[in-house]
Amino acid sequence: MYCGAGGNPGRWATSGTQFWEVDSGGTFNITFPTAISAFGFYGTDIGDFANRLIVDLTAEDNTVTSLTVGHSLGLDNFANSLLFWGFIDATVAYKRIGFRNAGTGGDIFAFDDMVIGSREQINVPEPGSLVLAGLALVGLAASRRRRS
């Protein structure tokens, strides 16, 4: 694994100057202090060789769900690919996410700009000022009718 500033063919930071790199056959895990229900990342150089990226999601009850990150490049496509991949699960929270660079194709992946979200939903109330403005317009219309 490498946390670097570029210089590797096909792998770069999507913002800033740093990114996380995983060699062929490599793995890494992220453990969250508070379980999450949404996760996403930008991946560069994924899938130009024979390897597959597998994401293992460990739920709060220790159930593991494995997802294969799809890509459409095909073998031998060295086009400096960029992929955003993510999920939202409103019913399950995950305490750990593992990444596996599966295969023997010599592929190296890079990750950047990971985003997370909780299961908690925040209700946004209707703004009070909007209600007051609506009442003011109704009052103005009523007063104009009386004057006519």
Could you read off the pLDDT of 74-129 as tens digits, one per residue? 555 555 677 888 999 989 999 999 988 876 666 777 788 888 898 777 777 666 77
CATH number of residue 59's parent domain: 2.60.120
Q: What is the pTM of this model?
A: 0.69
What angle is formed at CA 10 by the lines to CA 73 and CA 44, rounded to 5 degrees?
65
Could you read off the pLDDT of 43-68 as tens digits, one per residue? 877 666 666 788 999 999 999 999 98
Q: How many domains does the chain have?
A: 1
What pLDDT is attached to residue 9?
64
Complete DSSP assignment for 56-69? EEEETTS-EEEEEE
- Indicate the length of the chain as a whole number: 148
Q: How confident is the model at residue 31 (pLDDT cuts 50, 70, 90)?
A: very high
Question: Above 60 in pLDDT, residue 136?
Answer: yes
Are 1 and 11 within 8 A, CB to CB? no
Q: Which residue range is the domain that position 7 belongs to?
A: 2-147
Longest distance between any two alpha carbons in the chain, whole Å: 84
